A and B are shown apart, each in its own frame.
Chain A
Amino acid sequence: MKIFQIALGILAAIGGFVDIGDLVFNVSAGATFGYQLLWVIVVGVVGIIVYSEMCGRVATVSGKAVFDAVRERLGFRTGLAALVSAQVVNLMTLTAEIGGVAICLQLLSGLPYRWLIVIAGIVLAVIVWTTSFDWIERIFGYGGLCLLVFAVAAVKLHPAWGAVGHGFVPHVPTQSPLLYAYFAIGLLGAAMTPYEVYFYSSGAIEEQWGPKDLGLNKANAMIGYGLGGFLSFALMIVGGALFLGKGIEPEFLGSIALGAEVPLGQIGLLLALVGIVFAVGGAAIDTLFSGAYNLAQFLGWEWGRYRSNSGAPRFTVTWLVLLVLGLGLVMTGVDPVQLTEYAVIFSAVALPLTYIPILLVANDRSYMREYVNGRLANVLGLFYLVVIVIVALTAVPLLILTNAGQN
């Protein structure tokens, strides 16, 4: 096994799975319901593994990334609707991630927030302009591994392990079931955010995988998102052990980092903040690229960081424009954490339009040949399609009914 080639999976996990949305939803879910929602993470992780493996396989065998498949299967009209909704949610997420980076830099440096937004924007632009795809993956993926400090913190906080174990058993509580459902939907939405598959499938092409790399694809999806799930468990346990029943709603990124400081002191706080900067910075790049990938693939433009900046001009201009738009939106002073909550819920609505075409294309024997979906992939794929449709239909009503989880 080429163990060192799982950087795509690590970045997909750290920058995609554990982004600002997961940090917020996991810790808040822990603070509100303790360990009761741990099982939802398992459902979400298996779902994202199933669909990432599928779209990675499609990209590897046929050279088609997600929005190629969307355009092909949904046609121009419905595909355009999928594109617009994906781009809106992507821009919201990008904005939230940039804001998240700036908040962490502020906690680390004490400089003014607005200055740090500009600095974060310039640093991101320079990194993407000058660095190869491989190195972007490594810098942000491996830098984000500092988040493992939350796993140590979770153990050090001595949670009631019996209650933790009970949290892995699916159940619905008698108290405030609506709020519980809102968090469950949010956790699923955060775990299966569409931009993860946009980035992952395009990443398979950036890495120039061929059919011989299908084992690598499977390993990347399983190890990467498995790690993401593990970190999510840790975050929720920390949230539960530290904040449950104390009336503390961890609505600042700083209070999430506090989860590592309480049991581990200054070094814990530092590692947590550095980890969050890399994870959220990686997510900013994921969403930035995803926006450019989607548009280019839908319109048939040349794309990819494996081309030079001038080798894919419209792709390059698209990510530059998206970055400027994102920076402008953060500058308006919108609260990144609140924006994240809305982005996660709205992305849940866009889920079916992303995942249905992947499932269809993965079953097309005319170009998937012997690599079409097996029975397991189809059974799981269909099961998650049902889950996704339920999530999509209930997301907005629950957002309104629970006042975005505030009641």
Chain B
Amino acid sequence: MTKTLDLGLQLVDRQLLDSEDRRCGNVDDLALEGGPGERLEVVAILSGPGAWRRRAGLIGRFAAWIGGGRVVRIPWEEVANVSAHVKLRKRAEELGLGRGDDRLRPFIQKIPGAER
């Protein structure tokens, strides 16, 4: 990917889609690398309630606590492209994303008509 991105506007807070277009979280934060004088590089996307701690002070910490505080680190190599959404190369399960939905699913499936 060579096109220019405004990280704050065009990457952070966007929807993550896995390789099968399943919605599996948001870009909650970024991991950047590069010392003084060096090129700054995005090395990973951080997704999950734990990343909210640094984004909204006390309320962010409270929200992170309610959400369970987990953060998933998605290496930048796993990003297929960035457009209106951030598309990933692998399935959500392989990246550790969308776990909340996967955990709830068996309970929902016990109710008749769950596949409708």
A residues within 8 Å of B by Cβ?
Answer: 62-64, 68, 71-72, 75-77, 79-80, 129-130, 132, 296-297, 299-303, 308-310, 312-314, 316-317, 366-367
B63 interface neighbour in A75, A80, A300, Cβ under 8 Å: A80
- B100 contact set on A, CB distance < 8 A: 301, 313-314
- What are 17 A-B contacts with C-beta separation under 8 Å? A76-B60, A77-B56, A77-B57, A130-B113, A297-B15, A299-B25, A301-B100, A301-B101, A302-B98, A309-B115, A309-B116, A313-B101, A313-B102, A314-B104, A317-B104, A317-B108, A366-B10
Q: Closest residue of chain A to B55, judged by CB?
A: A76
Q: For B59, what are the chain A residues with a Cβ–Cβ distance below 8 Å?
A: 77, 80
* Cβ contacts under 8 Å, B85 to chain A: 63-64
Q: How many A-B residue pairs have CB under 8 A?
A: 88
Complex Cα–Cα for A300 and B83 (A): 16
CB of B23 within 8 A of CB of A309, answer no
- How far is the CB of A324 from the nearest CB of chain B, in Å? 15
Contact A309 B113 (CB under 8 A): yes
Complex CA distance for A130 and B116, rounded to whole angstroms: 6
- In angstroms, Cα B101 to Cα A302, docked, is 8
**Could you tell me how many residues of chain B have their Cβ less than 8 Å away from some Cβ of chain A?**
38
Given contacts A301-B23, A302-B24, contact A77 B60 (CB under 8 A): yes
B-side residues, CB < 8 A to A, are 9-10, 12-16, 22-26, 28, 47, 52, 55-57, 59-60, 63, 83-85, 98, 100-102, 104-105, 107-109, 111, 113-116
Using Cβ atoms and an 8 Å threshold, which residues of chain B touch A80? 56, 59, 63
By a CB distance below 8 angstroms, the chain B residues around A132 are: 116
Contact A308–B55 (Cβ < 8 Å): no
User: In whole Å, how far is B82's beta carbon from the nearest beta carbon of chain A?
Assistant: 10
A314 contact set on B, CB distance < 8 A: 100-101, 104
Cα A55 to Cα B77 in complex, Å, equals: 33
Q: Indicate if the CB atoms of B116 and A68 lie closer than 8 Å.
A: no
Which residues of B have CB within 8 Å of A63? Answer: 84-85
Q: What's the minimum C-beta distance from A323 to chain B, rounded to whole angstroms?
A: 14
CB < 8 Å neighbour of B114 from A71, A296, A297, A309: A309
Write the chain B residue with the least CB distance to A302: B23
**Is A309 a contact of B55 with CB atoms below 8 Å?**
no
Q: A64-B84, A68-B15, A129-B116 are in contact. Are A310 and B28 (CB under 8 A)?
A: no
